[in-house]
């Protein structure tokens, strides 16, 4: 295996970048082999298999491809295919599989009973890869997808390298799901391990949030329109808010969540990724490495947290019991596999600052939580007030500063809130929304996030994937908060009820600056 040289995370890379995707309307030129470690797991059932099927029926896969699922359960190829058909019928955005299309697609699916710790598993996979390439008489793009628990990352990577299955660095990829490390030390160790066996351009650290259509549109919205860039800075923007909230509790994931919490589970990856897209400088071009380097610049510019900053600029919470949609739900400490004295936060709110010329002293407020009043992912940019009001006081009773609200879910929309005169003989101003709504604007389907990310993996486009230094910079930023919360037991957990907007501490965090948390306008939400 060729060893990395020079900078571990180069700022130049694939010269085609995302232009490959724009120029290639299908991917028929080279065969693909998908090897899914964890092929009988929940991620493959709900996301990967339906995504691959949808790519197939939409003509994005080549005629020559193979999907090899691995697992410990003893199954025949036919039994495995039947299982995946049930999954696709249940979870695919395209609905029940078309019988003719499924018959064609299923012939590319295979199953291998595997022990991921044994080198014999990888020797057998090597034989399968060789057999397919001999049949096709051409080399294939080989994608190793690690849809498994993180403790399997190390043995899988070591065995792939030992069997020389990824020596062709241009045509092999290693896709790794989060969590990528549990703290800065473990993330750095994992990066070092992978970097000793693979080149950075082979490693695809996946964050499914970046595959969502509205998230991708942030780049287009910012950099394809001349009207926003001149005001996208501290001179015109008062604050930025990012809220990612869920109605659901931890339910059957208590054992995982006890070792994670809201800070690790959402803020370190998903929310900081969104923040980087909002705060990044314009890239020179749309090449993957250039875009990723600008996102790393944001993380490196973010103000580090002192002990006093953690006290003043963060809030945490843990949900209690309550009622959601007429159903009584338990508190976090009564959930399965959760300690009755748990100190794990199910809610986190933080005020960040990006110390550079563009954003100096503009607060970035983020919050995330479970058992909240609604499930929503919303980015709000509030602009500064007009410098001088010319209208009489009675005309401005409903005055509100201009806001740009980017809704990722439940609806996919971008709305600009401005002041306008209400119809009538007198002058009364009120807020109106200028809305771009995906559902009403486009009749075509919206692909699932995993479809986008799998296609980018095939194309070798890493724009939407996290680079190793980005992962480490994100961990370094939140480690003071993480250490403080772990070492200081909360005496008031649970401190917010189910179906609420979180603890009072989170309201106080933003109210001290004279602001409040913004939600999507009720009268504009999807019915």
Q: pLDDT tens across 296-341, in order?
A: 999 999 999 999 999 999 999 999 999 988 899 999 999 999 999 9
* pLDDT for res 434: 86
- 182 pLDDT higher than 70: yes
- 184 pLDDT higher than 80: yes
Question: Element (H or E) spanning 455, and its range?
Answer: helix 449-459
Question: End-to-end distance of the chain based on CA atoms, in angstroms?
Answer: 55
Helix, strand or coil for residue 354?
Answer: strand
| Cβ(414)–Cβ(436) below 8 Å | yes
pLDDT band at 55 (very low <50, low <70, confident <90, very high): very high
pLDDT band at 256 (very low <50, low <70, confident <90, very high): confident
- 78 pLDDT higher than 90: yes
- 445 pLDDT higher than 50: yes
Which tens digits make up the pLDDT trace of 137-164? 999 999 999 999 999 999 999 999 999 9
* pLDDT for res 13: 40
For the chain, list the domains and their CATH numbers. 19-205 (3.40.50.720), 211-448+466-524 (3.30.360.10)
pLDDT band at 27 (very low <50, low <70, confident <90, very high): low
- Count other Cβ atoms within 10 Å, centred on residue 287: 22
pLDDT band at 28 (very low <50, low <70, confident <90, very high): low
| pLDDT (average), residues 234-251 | 95
Q: Catalytic positions, please? A: 270
- 38 pLDDT higher than 80: yes
Report the share of the chain in percent with pLDDT over 90: 72
Q: What is the mean pLDDT of the chain?
A: 89
* pLDDT for res 523: 53
Whole-angstrom distance, CA of residue 500 vs CA of residue 440: 31
- 178 pLDDT higher than 70: yes
CA distances from 96 to 29, 46, 51, 175 (A): 29, 14, 13, 28
Report the share of the chain in percent with pLDDT over 70: 90
* pLDDT for res 527: 41
- 21 pLDDT higher than 60: no
- Count other Cβ atoms within 10 Å, centred on residue 428: 15
Q: What is the pTM of this model?
A: 0.89
Whole-angstrom distance, CA of residue 436 vs CA of residue 439: 9
- 16 pLDDT higher than 60: no
* pLDDT for res 288: 85
| pLDDT (average), residues 395-413 | 82
Helix, strand or coil for residue 328?
Answer: strand
* pLDDT for res 393: 67
- 441 pLDDT higher than 50: yes
Q: In what order do the strands lie in the sheet with 109-113?
A: 109-113, 65-71, 32-37, 141-146, 172-176, 203-205
pLDDT band at 390 (very low <50, low <70, confident <90, very high): low
Weakest mean pLDDT among 38-52, 265-279, 339-353, 384-398: 384-398
pLDDT band at 394 (very low <50, low <70, confident <90, very high): low
- 23 pLDDT higher than 80: no
| pLDDT (average), residues 483-512 | 94
């Amino acid at each position: 295996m060729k060893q990395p040289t020079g900078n571990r995370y180069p700022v130049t890379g694939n010269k085609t970048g995302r232009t490959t995707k724009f120029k290639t309307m299908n991917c028929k030129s080279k065969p693909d082999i998908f090897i899914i470690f964890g092929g009988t797991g929940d991620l493959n059932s709900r996301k990967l298999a339906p995504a691959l099927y949808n790519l197939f029926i939409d003509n994005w896969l080549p005629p020559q491809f193979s999907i090899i699922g691995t697992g410990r359960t003893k199954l025949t190829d036919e039994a495995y295919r039947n299982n995946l058909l049930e999954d696709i019928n249940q979870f695919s955005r395209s609905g029940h599989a078309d019988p003719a299309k499924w018959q064609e697609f299923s012939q590319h699916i295979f199953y291998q009973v595997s022990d991921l710790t044994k080198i014999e598993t990888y020797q057998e996979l090597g034989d399968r890869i060789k057999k397919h390439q001999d049949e096709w008489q051409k080399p294939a793009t080989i994608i190793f997808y690690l849809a498994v628990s993180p403790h399997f990352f190390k043995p899988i990577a070591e065995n792939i390298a030992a069997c020389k299955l990824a020596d062709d660095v241009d045509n092999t990829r290693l896709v790794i799901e989060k969590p990528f490390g549990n703290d800065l030390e473990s993330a750095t160790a994992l990066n070092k391990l992978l970097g000793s066996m693979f080149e950075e351009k082979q490693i695809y650290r996946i964050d499914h949030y970046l595959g969502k259509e509205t998230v991708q549109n942030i780049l287009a919205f910012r950099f394809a329109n001349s009207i926003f860039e001149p005001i996208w800075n501290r001179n015109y923007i008062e604050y930025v808010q990012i809220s990612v909230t869920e109605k659901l509790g931890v339910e059957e994931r208590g054992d995982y969540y006890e070792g994670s919490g809201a800070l690790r589970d959402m803020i370190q990856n998903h929310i900081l990724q969104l923040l980087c897209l909002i705060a990044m400088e314009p890239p020179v071009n749309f090449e993957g490495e250039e875009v990723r380097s600008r996102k790393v610049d944001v993380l490196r510019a973010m103000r580090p947290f002192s002990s006093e900053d953690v006290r003043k600029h963060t809030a945490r919470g843990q949900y209690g019991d309550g009622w959601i949609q007429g159903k009584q739900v338990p508190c976090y400490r009564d959930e399965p596999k959760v300690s009755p004295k748990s100190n794990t936060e199910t809610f986190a709110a933080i005020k960040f600052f990006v110390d550079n010329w563009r954003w100096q002293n503009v607060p970035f407020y983020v919050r995330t939580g479970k058992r909240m009043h609604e499930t929503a992912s919303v980015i709000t940019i509030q602009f500064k007030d007009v410098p001088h009001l010319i209208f009489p006081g009675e005309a401005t009773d409903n005055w509100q500063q201009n806001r740009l609200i980017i809704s990722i879910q439940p609806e996919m929309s971008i709305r600009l809130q401005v002041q306008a005169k209400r119809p009538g003989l007198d002058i009364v101003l009120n807020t109106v929304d200028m809305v771009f709504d995906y559902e009403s604007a486009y009749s075509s389907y919206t692909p699932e996030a995993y479809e986008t990310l799998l296609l980018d993996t095939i194309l070798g486009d890493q724009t939407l994937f996290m680079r190793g230094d980005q992962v480490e910079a994100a961990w370094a930023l939140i480690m003071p908060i993480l250490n403080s919360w772990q070492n200081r037991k909360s005496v008031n957990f649970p401190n917010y009820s189910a179906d609420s907007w979180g603890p009072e501490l989170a309201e106080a965090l933003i109210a001290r600056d004279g602001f409040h948390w913004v939600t999507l306008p009720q009268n504009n939400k999807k019915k």
